[in-house]
Amino acid sequence: MTDPDISPGTEPGEITSVVEHCFRHEAGKMVSTLTRIFGARHLNLAEDVVQEALARALQTWPYYGVPRNPAAWITQVSKNLALDLIRRDKVFRNKEIDIAFFMEDATAISGGEDSVSFKDEIRDDRLWMMFMCCHPLVPREAQVALALKTLCGFSAGEIAKAFLTSEAAIAKRLTRAKRKIREASIPFELPTGDELRARLDGVLQTLYLLFNEGYKASEGDNLIRKELCHEAVRLCALLAGHPVGNRPGVHALLALMLLNGARLQARLDTDGNILRLKDQDRSRWDRGMIARGLFHLMQSTEGDELSVYHLQASIAACHCAARDYESTDWRRILHFYDLLVNMDDSPVVALNRSVAISKVHSPKAAIEAVEAIKDREQLDSYYLLYAVLGEFEELLNNRKAAANYFRKSLELATIKSERKFLMKRLRAVEDGRSGN
């Protein structure tokens, strides 16, 4: 007899898809909450419990069907596994009351006099845990990687692509970070005052990368993963609405997310293929999100702080303000990029700046700018480097060079819609048709 909350007859492929969805959406929540209960030094244990719950879903759902509320099922199994573990292990016996509260949806676990209560402080376990991952004792290069892996379900490969490095390097960072948390007994609590503000940079970078992975996925079949964008916006809005996070940089990042997120619906055609900015139907842009983005951009101007998020949000605002592609204020955009490269000299920022240079000056000047990029070798395996160079060479009517760049870009691209777009661009260049 099947459970009344089970829907039998689900195909195996669909079951795998649902479990993967739950992993993305629910695992981070569960790991965060269990880490709060077990203590930060038992982060691996919390991850193991949630992984076991997901494994059980893959084992049982093919026989009994997918639960009507898969997330609730995984949550309950994780709770039961945690409770079993606590009852077996004397190390956790003093936590049994806490886990009981958790299973009954308790509001919080109070800390000492110097800590801040959960409900009175930031009201989300995952955002709270981001601050823990960004503790000063955790190496800076490992902070964001740990948050993305633990809270957002990113694979080492996805994180490696975000940082333009190898999976092995990311794996080492994650191992070091967890070891440091364990050895230093870093508390799972939210600090106050200057110590909390000092961790904001790492938290903002995590949210920034989370949004970017949703805006343009680094792997998989889908170019856009809206759920990641929406989660990044939600967490950033939560932070901006809190006294601790009511700061110019937070509002600037939220503005950037909203202004870029407003264009999500128009970035793909009806077949799921990517559309360039110039080809997008601007009537499909979300005017409500644009208005919210401009509001937070104004909020970000209070005080004298200027961050990379201010400049990127200003660039996004220029695109949103343009009536059409032809009326885009590229000179203003280039001005913001000139300021941005002085604050962030990453090769990706410099590559993006070259596009504005091509619009304001010439494709030849843009190619020269690309050739002058500092640490350009970091872009050797970045498919957009060659796609951009292909565009510049085509504008100069150097079709052979353009075709070679598009072929190289095609070799490196992994997302289906991007490969289809690049194939179309390559064929257009080979056939002598302009795609610009």
Sketch the domain layout of the chain as residue ranges. Answer: 6-110, 344-380, 381-436
- Out of 19-23, 224-228, 377-381, the most confident range is 377-381
What's residue 140's pLDDT? 78
What's residue 44's pLDDT? 77
- Cβ neighbours of residue 327 closer than 8 Å, sequence gap 6 or more: none
46-81 pLDDT, tens digit each: 788 888 888 888 888 887 788 888 877 877 788 788
191-211 pLDDT, tens digit each: 667 777 778 888 898 899 889
What's residue 37's pLDDT? 73
- Cβ neighbours of residue 34 closer than 8 Å, sequence gap 6 or more: 45, 46, 49, 50, 78, 82
Query: Global pTM?
Result: 0.76
d(CA 111, CA 108): 9
Question: What's the whole-number mean pLDDT along residues 420-430?
Answer: 92
Residue 368: pLDDT band by 50, 70, 90 thresholds? very high
Is there a contact between 248 and 307 (Cβ–Cβ < 8 Å)? Answer: yes
Residue 282: pLDDT band by 50, 70, 90 thresholds? very high
Question: What's the whole-number mean pLDDT along residues 328-338?
Answer: 98
Question: What's the whole-number mean pLDDT along residues 238-258?
Answer: 92
Helix locations, 216-286, DSSP H:
226-240, 248-261
Is there a contact between 146 and 156 (Cβ–Cβ < 8 Å)? Answer: no
Q: What is the dihedral of CA 122, 125, 129, 130, to 10 degrees?
A: -60
Is there a contact between 294 and 317 (Cβ–Cβ < 8 Å)? Answer: yes
Is there a contact between 306 and 249 (Cβ–Cβ < 8 Å)? Answer: no
- Out of 85-99, 241-255, 329-343, the most confident range is 329-343
Is there a contact between 416 and 221 (Cβ–Cβ < 8 Å)? Answer: yes
Question: What's the whole-number mean pLDDT along residues 402-430?
Answer: 92
Neighbour-count burial of 305, counting CB atoms closer than 10 A to its CB (0-12 exposed, 13-18 middle, 19+ buried): middle
Average pLDDT, the chain: 82
Q: Which residues pair with 66 in a beta bridge?
A: 7
Amino acid (one-letter) located at 358:
S
Return the number of other C-beta atoms located less than 10 Å from residue 372's C-beta: 10
What's residue 159's pLDDT? 83
Question: What's the whole-number mean pLDDT along residues 279-298?
Answer: 96
CA-based torsion, 5, 7, 8, 10: positive or negative: negative
Helix locations, 5-69, DSSP H:
12-22, 28-38, 43-64
Question: What's the whole-number mean pLDDT along residues 358-376?
Answer: 96
d(CA 237, CA 246): 10
Q: Which residues pair with 7 in a beta bridge?
A: 66
- In degrees, rounded to 5, the angle at the alpha carbon of residue 206 between the alpha carbons of residues 375 and 339 is 50
d(CA 394, CA 400): 9
Residues in the chain, how many? 436
Distances (CA, A) of 22 to 70, 119, 305, 421: 7, 25, 39, 31
d(CA 373, CA 363): 15
Amino acid (one-letter) located at 280:
Q
Least confident of 6-20, 387-401, 416-430: 6-20
Q: Is pLDDT of 23 > 90?
A: no
Return the number of other C-beta atoms located less than 10 Å from residue 189's C-beta: 20
Which helix (H) or strand (E) covers residue 7, if one does? strand 6-7
Q: What is the number of H-type helices and E-type strands within the chain?
A: 21, 2
Q: What is the dihedral of CA 393, 398, 404, 407, to 10 degrees?
A: 60
429, two tokens? 């260049």
- Cβ neighbours of residue 309 closer than 8 Å, sequence gap 6 or more: 204, 208, 249, 252, 253, 255, 256, 300
Q: Residue 81's Cα: distance from chain center in Å?
A: 29
Residue 272: pLDDT band by 50, 70, 90 thresholds? confident
